[in-house]
Structure 1
Amino acid sequence: MPKMKTKSGAKKRFSLTGTGKIKRKHAYKSHILTKKTTKQKRALTHVGLVSSADMNRVKDMLAI
């Protein structure tokens, strides 16, 4: 059976930490920023972690 390919969109959006967790960025930070408050935009800047419920799905996309 051939190797599993990594989904191209997933490899651009997720990255692994040293302990094996998966980092992700927040949504709603790319456009239409004028109507969002500064506090809201600043909170969206910080990197988050993928929840445990989605971990297996993301690992399948990354072919880990």
Structure 2
Amino acid sequence: RFKVTASGKILRSRASRRHLMSAKNAKKKRQLAKVGRVHETDLARIKANLPFA
């Protein structure tokens, strides 16, 4: 689910990409394929639950 970069940022995959993809247009699918960063307000909560962060 999460990947920690060398600089300490945490990457995440985007939601809504697992099923019902036929209802989404190509632009939305392309945007959902990109990797997102965890927002700084959520970093402390996520890091507390990751054993390797």
* TM-score bracket for the superposition, by shorter chain length: over 0.9
TM-score, structure 2 normalization: 0.92
Partners of 1:37 and 1:29 lie apart in 2 by 12
Instruction: Show structure 1 runs of 4+ deviating over 3 A.
Output: none
Q: 1:54 aligns with which of 36, 42, 52?
A: 42
Q: Which has the higher contact order (CA 8 A, sep 6+)?
A: 1
Question: Any stretches of 5+ residues in structure 1 without a counterpart?
Answer: 1-12
Q: CA RMSD in A?
A: 0.8
Q: Which structure has the bigger radius of gyration? A: 1
Identity of aligned residues (%): 40
Number of residue pairs matched? 52
Alignment TM-score, normalising by the size of structure 1 = 0.77
State the AA in 2 paired with 1:20: G
Query: What is the distance in 2 between the residues matched to 1:40 and 1:33?
Result: 9
Task: Point out the structure with the larger strand share.
Answer: 2
